[in-house]
Every structure is written in structure tokens, then in C-alpha cells.
Amino acid sequence: MLSDTQNVTVNSIHVNSLCEDIHKNRSVVLNSILYEIVLSHQDLKLVSELGPRYTREKQAASFCCVICGRSYFIRKGKRYRMYKSVLGKSKIPVLQVQCCFCGHRFCPYKDEIGLAYTERISPALIQRQLELTCQIPYWKARKVIDACLDVSASCATIRKEIDHQAEQIRSRPVSAAGEVVYDDSTKVKAGKKERGVSIHLAVTAKPGKPRGGRNTMRKRLLFLKTGDAGSIKKSLKALKAKGIVHDGDMDLSGCAKNIQRCLWHLVHQLKHFLWLDDVPFEDRKPYVKELIQILFWSVTVNMMKDQYSRFIARLRENGLYKSYGHLKKAETELTTSREQGFAFHTTASVEREMREINRRADVGVRWSIPGVENLLLVKTHLMLNGP
């Protein structure tokens, strides 16, 4: 059968040019289909309301004139509305009617078909704008959307949508009853202070299904906010969590029944306190190595407690009072995770989000505090909780 088919002779052909032509014509074809579907739907509705076209007998419609309240109309052509979507810009027809008594013209199905004044951008397009803006700067996101879809959106419009989405996320009730909360913070360049402000992040994390031979985590965002220690503690306490694992920047006693200090942060912070105690760089390594051995390689909880007590006592004997004070404060929050069976003993479950926050916020500008908080909240929500 194939041998009987006549061959088509083409002088030259290139896949790239064909793809570009099809892509350009795709939007034209899809928009024409959209045009006809919306127009025919409204026309059928008007036939059922006003009767067949060109009929002399008038019948009352189910809708009323917004001026005089009467229900008798005649058809009066159509108007057009510009609708922005993932198809690009679409010219949508909206049929008009005219009141037989006062002569007022209006579009009875404008709101019904989704062309109200505040609804002329598709939710899918807004979602893509949000996802893109969470990854790259506002002006770059605007240029990408314009280049790919031929849809223009100002940076101010995108920023308003970010703020709107952030308010919706904050308004949703959040609870972590019976779960373990992992809290961490990082500095971003925002506000008037030279070092910026702290962004506090709280998530829940559980072991997930292995993928490609690697372990995974299932995370859920609880909150992301700026603020002083009092407001952060109040937010953590309102979660009613089973336990909290934190980095030690704040005293979180009383925010949950079980408090665990991040073991990795203890080691990392010890280097700084040894520097404050004027310990030379090379002489810090034995202390750090011994602390790692105690925290991560102790066989039993009692062994960890005993070795830790002797270690900090030796720091005090050697006159390293700042290092001693730092580790002494964490002594009661050292083995909580092992005793209570927490899935993770450190804040490693939020470190990935911390890197993403720093990558997006550190763009060489100084943010406003509400602006950076709203953007990072939406970004982290999309990463962990989904759209």
C-alpha cells in the first residue's frame, strides 16, 4: 500500500523553521477556536432568552436592565475584551443587548464567561508568573513571559500578586500537633540595619521514599516570617508541636514540650567561640574533633551525656569560658531527639531551603522587609506545599 502512495517532492525543508512557523500559527489557531466557542455559547444563550434572531415577538429574559429593571431586550452587536492567558493575548467577543424601554446597552454574560474587569488574566498565567518570579528577578520574569507568550505584565503588577498570594498563605490555619518542628534562620539584606533582618523558617520533616538510591524527606512549610524573638516564640508556641529542633540562636524553652539543639550547629558555633577565647586556629581542631566524636559517635545516651560533661568541664579548667558557656546552655537540649525518637537530630532538613532563600534574596539590592518576606514566603510555599 505504501508503494502505491505518490511521493511529495519538496525542494528544501528545515525542522527549526517548521517548528517556528507551527509555534507562531498555533496561537492564531487556538485563539480562533476560543473565539468561536465563546461566541456560539453566548448566541445560544440569547436564543433561549430572547427567542430566534429577527423574530418580531419579544419575550421576557431572565435578566433585568440595570437601569430601569425591565426584562425586554433586543440584540445590539458585540464588543471585544482582551484576555491574557497561557495562549497569549486573546480577543474575546462579548454580545450586547439593548433595553427596549430605556435604551441602555450592556453585556449580560460578561461575568458569567469570566470576563469581569478584575478577571481578565487567567489563573494559570498568574501561577506561572509567580513561579518564575520566585526564581529570577522581577524584570527578568517580565521579559521571559513577554518573549514566550507575548503577554506584557509590569513589575508592579507581579509584585501586587506576590503580596496578595502571601496574605492568602498567612490567613490559612497552621498546626503541627504531635509533630516535630525544625526551625532555622538566616540573614537577608533588608530594612535599615546594616546586616539586614533575620528570616525565620519553620517546617515539619519526615523520611520519604528513596529515589535513585538516595533518601528523601517529605516537608511541609509552617511559617516564614521576620520579627523579633518574642513574635517568633509566640508563633512556635501556637503550633503546639511535640518537639522543636533549632540552631540555638534563641532560647526556645517553653515553646514545646521537647527542645533539641542542632548538633551540627553546636560544632560549627564552637569554632567561633574558641576564636573569641583567643585559641589559635591550629589549636581549635582537637576540640572540634572531640566534640564531633561525642555528639555523633556515642553509642548510648548516657555515654554522650557523661563525655559531654567532662568535655565542657575541661574547657572551663583551661580558661575557655565563652566556649564553656556556649556548650553549657545546650547541655539540657543535647539528647532530646534520641530519647524522644525524632527522625532527625539536626536542622539539615531546612538547610536546603536556607540556601534557596539566600540565593534568591542576595541579588545585590536592599529589599524592603515586607517585600522580601512576601516573596520568600510564596517561594518556599510553592517549593514545599505546592500551588
Instruction: Find out whether 222 and 239 touch, Cβ atoms under 8 Å.
Output: yes
Query: Alpha-carbon distance 97 to 64, whole Å?
Result: 11
Report the amino acid identity of residue 115: L
Q: 375 lies in which domain range?
A: 176-261+365-387
**Boundary residue ending a domain (170, 202, 228):** 170
Are 331 and 219 in a shared domain?
no
User: Which stretches in the chain have pLDDT values below 50?
Assistant: 1-2, 5
In degrees, to the nearest 5, what angle opens at C-alpha 131 toward C-alphas 126 and 133? Answer: 90
Query: Which residue shows C-alpha cell 502505491?
Result: 4
Are 234 and 296 in a shared domain?
no
Are 183 and 240 in a shared domain?
yes
| In-domain check, residue 161 | yes
Are 66 and 129 in a shared domain?
no
> How many domains are there within the chain?
4
| In-domain check, residue 5 | no
Q: Rg of the chain's alpha carbons, rounded to an integer?
A: 32
Query: Which residue shows C-alpha cell 565542657?
Result: 312
- What's the pLDDT at 2? 47
Summarize pLDDT for 65-110 with one digit per residue, the tens: 888 888 889 889 899 988 888 878 888 899 999 999 999 999 998 8
Are 285 and 212 in a shared domain?
no
Report the amino acid identity of residue 5: T
Are 254 and 372 in a shared domain?
yes
| In-domain check, residue 7 | no
| In-domain check, residue 217 | yes
Are 113 and 21 in a shared domain?
yes
| In-domain check, residue 211 | yes
Query: Which residue shows C-alpha cell 506576590?
Result: 162
| In-domain check, residue 2 | no
| In-domain check, residue 353 | no
Are 39 and 110 in a shared domain?
yes
Full 3-state SS string of the chain: CHHHCCCCCCCCCCHHHHHHHHHHHHHHHHHHHHHHHHHHHHHHHHHHHHCCCCCCCCCCCCCCCCCCCCCCEEEEEEEEEEEEECCEEEEEEEEEEEECCCCCEECCCCCCCCCCCCCCECHHHHHHHHHHHCCCCHHHHHHHHHHHHCCCCCHHHHHHHHHHHHHHHHHCCCCCECCEEEEEEEEECECCCCCCEEEEEEEEEEECCCECCECCEEEEEEEEECCCHHHHHHHHHHCCECEEEECCCCCCCCCCCEEEECHHHHHHHHHHHHHHCCCCHHHHHHHHHHHHHHHHHCCCHHHHHHHHHHHHHHHHHCCCHHHHHHHHHCHHHCCHHHHHCCCCCCCHHHHHHHHHHHHHHCCCCCECHHHHHHHHHHHHHHHHCCC
Are 161 and 278 in a shared domain?
no
Cα 91 from chain centre? 31
- Spatial strand order in the sheet of 243-246: 217-225, 197-207, 180-188, 243-246, 258-261
Q: Give the residues across from 106 on adjacent strands.
A: 97
Query: Alpha-carbon distance 284 to 271, whole Å?
Result: 7
What's the predicted TM-score (pTM) here? 0.79
- What's the pLDDT at 1? 45
Residues 6+ apart with CB under 8 A from 129: 141, 145, 153, 158, 161
Summarize pLDDT for 259-299 with one digit per residue, the tens: 999 988 899 999 999 999 999 999 999 999 999 999 989 88
Are 248 and 380 in a shared domain?
yes
Cα 232 from chain centre? 20
Q: Which of 203, 213, 249 is nearest to 229 (CA)?
A: 249
Q: Give the residues across from 92 on adjacent strands.
A: 81
Are 209 and 276 in a shared domain?
no
Are 129 and 114 in a shared domain?
no
Largest interatomic CA distance in the chain: 106
| In-domain check, residue 359 | no
